């Protein structure tokens, strides 16, 4: 069983890490990649948040057997 709230929080933490560390990138392409990754993680968190708001009962108990990676891959 997956806790959607924890998954959303983790995605947002990872996005923040990528944004903060983009400033420390030595190359423009690394800076850009980290920002794109942060944006992708934020989009995934937003989609989960919308799904959680639409169906709060399902969010509390995700389908059994689904891993967080499988849920994220479906976004």
Judge residue 19's burial from the number of C-beta atoms within 10 Å of its C-beta, 0-12 exposed, 13-18 middle, 19 or more buried: middle
Instruction: Please tell me which residue, 59 or 17, carries the higher pLDDT value.
Output: 17
Count other C-beta atoms under 10 Å from residue 15's C-beta: 21
Taking only the tens place, the pLDDT of each residue in 22-41 is 988 889 999 999 999 999 99
Distance CA 18, CA 12 (A): 10
Q: What residues have CB less than 8 Å from 73, skipping those under 6 apart?
A: none
Band of residue 61 on the pLDDT scale cut at 50, 70, 90: very low
């Amino acid at each position: 069983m997956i806790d959607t709230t924890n998954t959303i929080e983790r995605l947002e933490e990872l996005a923040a890490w990528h944004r903060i560390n983009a400033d420390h990138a030595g190359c423009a392409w690394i800076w850009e990649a980290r920002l794109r990754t942060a944006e992708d993680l934020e989009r995934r968190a937003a989609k989960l948040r919308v799904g959680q708001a639409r169906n709060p009962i399902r969010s509390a108990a995700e389908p059994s057997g689904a891993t967080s990676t499988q849920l994220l891959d479906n976004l």
